[in-house]
Structure 1
């Protein structure tokens, strides 16, 4: 069911927050601490701290599959606050950050649906005072990021060119609660997908997300898939024998998942299965 509010006497449907996965979080204590400091969060991660210093719009930088999204999920879980996610892509437009004109979701079936204004996840988080995470922000064309500038400074509003409206926090409490962060893959920046300087300087500090220690990878696999001890030993042996510290957490979980399915459907010794299936999941070294 859509939620509607009146903004400048205009009826607007708000976006829905994402459902944060209720799974256990492993490791990344240092990175979480840096994020909490930037956002003004208590040391136990459960509440926003009332401070005269405004929160910072931190940026997570790291290769795919290393857990950037999971870090943001964990922050939202601990705070128990709504999280809104903007997914960056090459066809992004400025209005994707503000208001979109879409068919009314409450229209009667069989009739031509009337159009309604729908707030973006960013505009909704800004209006209500929620958490906003802009993923893959450096995939977005420079022009589409221009409305973001007024969100990330003292003005704290977003302009909708389609309606001529400025959308900001509904009250002072929402203004204090609003938090923004983003993430990018540095390899895209190396290929020319760089942030405009005015956005780069508004999304600081930069928190680098590197490969976690093997102990954390091992624990993530154990808690997410519950493999047998023999499978965990076989994975550990493969990991060190092949010196595959370059694989991501996502690849490691997928590899274990595939190996477990392979044993169930095809069979074979656990110690050899990883050699047989690894190239299909994590690829071969060049």
Structure 2
């Protein structure tokens, strides 16, 4: 049996109210659709942590800039619904843009320091759009737990900050990045890549691995670790957007990595016209 499709706020509110009256624990997995195994892993983990899992499929227009790929963002609702169902979601919220942003909509959520720098600096307004839509979804579903992938690591930290600061009372779970056997992080935007671009995109994971290998040989200064990653990008002519080593929680830049200190290397680069991001822990 296919997951229940909810199209409106009113339908969703009624479904959530019924669920709460039954005393069942709800997990929410927000997505923009064009699902892959990474999204399905979130739904399966939601089933482990709650009685019922709902997913949302909504290509959120407020997190796209004027020159970004909103109109061509890949969509496959029927395929997504089947993947949600097979992974264990009981309901899928798939609203129209005007349902989420009706005439007169004027409220936005802005998260401070953690949304600045990295993708926040390159995509003005992006994290305001993310924070606003996630706040709306959490308010609508009132889940006990919500799950997000670590591939969008800055996004995850933005969401953790807004939930903490606004006392939303939702457990936010970050799940490890799911990768292809050759190391490429799964992403809906991988659909844009040509065969040659996909081959070159492997430099993101190779670069992070090179930085980690250098750390394991005793290098602690982040400039050297960043250079190791950059060399892998340059070797295949990927256009770097950024490579940074940051504190894993605050996302502030680090000059060195101390053993035992939670740190993360984050990479963004263009393969052709497609902007790809990746990250992993660094140090140990």
- TM-score, normalization by structure 1: 0.30
Which of these two proteins has the greater Rg computed from alpha carbons? 1
Q: Which has the higher contact order (CA 8 A, sep 6+)?
A: 1
TM-score for both structures, normalised by structure 2: 0.30
